[in-house]
Chains A and B, each alone.
Chain A
Amino acid sequence: AQKVTQAQTEISVVEKEDVTLDCVYETRDTTYYLFWYKQPPSGELVFLIRRNSFDEQNEISGRYSWNFQKSTSSFNFTITASQVVDSAVYFCALSVKNYGQNFVFGPGTRLSVLP
């Protein structure tokens, strides 16, 4: 069975601090995809990144970076120099080839960035 764990329920940081959101996944399949979404207070889930299981290179996009480590089944997300606008709930998700049409979402981590 597939599972995604986001152990941090809530995190609070002060603006300009770096913060890492953890994501640990479980699957026995060798072909899978990992995602991060952001849900600001407005409610819409905004897609951030999609990474396949064969690409372990870290990704950087502006202040965002992602660290994918298959050895620990983790796909962690770091925000550098956090800003108030980063305050949101962040979801990690897993999709497995041939598992059907369902994404498996983690429970989410609520990030509060204080001014």
Chain B
Amino acid sequence: DVKVTQSSRYLVKRTGEKVFLECVQDMDHENMFWYRQDPGLGLRLIYFSYDVKMKEKGDIPEGYSVSREKKERFSLILESASTNQTSMYLCASSFEDNTDTQYFGPGTRLTVL
């Protein structure tokens, strides 16, 4: 079974704090993704990575950065959290091709006060 884990289910941070969201997959997948999900806006891709140390911007990268130092780990970084980054963050991974199934983690519900 594919397993994607995220470091926290719930997180509360203050405006201006630096926030790290961690995602780990155990299936040797090449691709990893970060999405945010907001009511009425659906799933929006923030960043993705198709290889170690490689990253590509998604649809809404502003205010975020990512790091992929190891194949199994993909981190999302909010350099200076703002209230409009309060959201559900979902990590996913897929094997190799862009059409391969994406498997999702449990999500992190981030609240920025």
- A44, A47, A102, A107: the one contacting B106 at CB < 8 Å is A44
| A95 and B98 contact, Cβ closer than 8 Å, known pairs A44-B105, A45-B104, A101-B50 | yes
**What is the distance, in angstroms, from B34's C-beta to the closest C-beta of chain A?**
12
Which B residues fall within an 8 A CB radius of A?
9, 31, 33, 42-43, 45, 48, 50, 56, 58-59, 88, 90, 92, 97-99, 101-107, 109
- A47, A98, A108: the one contacting B101 at CB < 8 Å is A47
Determine whether the beta carbon of A100 is less than 8 Å from that of B106. no
A-side contacts of B92, CB under 8 Å: 45
Determine whether the beta carbon of B98 is less than 8 Å from that of A99. yes
Which A residues fall within an 8 A CB radius of B?
32-33, 35, 37, 42-47, 50, 91, 95-103, 105-108
- A32, A44, A50: the one contacting B107 at CB < 8 Å is A44
Determine whether the beta carbon of B42 is less than 8 Å from that of A105. yes
| Number of A-B residue pairs having CB atoms within 8 Å of each other in the complex | 52
Determine whether the beta carbon of B105 is less than 8 Å from that of A101. no
Q: Can you name 28 A-B pairs with beta carbons within 8 Å?
A: A32-B99, A35-B101, A37-B104, A42-B106, A43-B9, A43-B88, A43-B107, A43-B109, A44-B104, A44-B105, A44-B106, A44-B107, A45-B90, A46-B104, A47-B104, A50-B101, A91-B43, A95-B98, A96-B99, A100-B98, A101-B50, A101-B56, A101-B98, A102-B48, A102-B58, A102-B98, A103-B102, A108-B42
Complex Cα gap A91–B33 (Å)? 17
| A101 and B106 contact, Cβ closer than 8 Å, known pairs A43-B88, A95-B98, A108-B42 | no
Closest to A103 in B: B102
A-side contacts of B105, CB under 8 Å: 44
Complex Cα gap A44–B43 (Å)? 12
Closest to B105 in A: A44
User: Across chains A and B, which 10 residue pairs bring their CB atoms closest together, nearest first?
Assistant: A45-B104, A43-B107, A95-B99, A44-B106, A101-B98, A33-B99, A105-B43, A107-B42, A50-B101, A101-B48
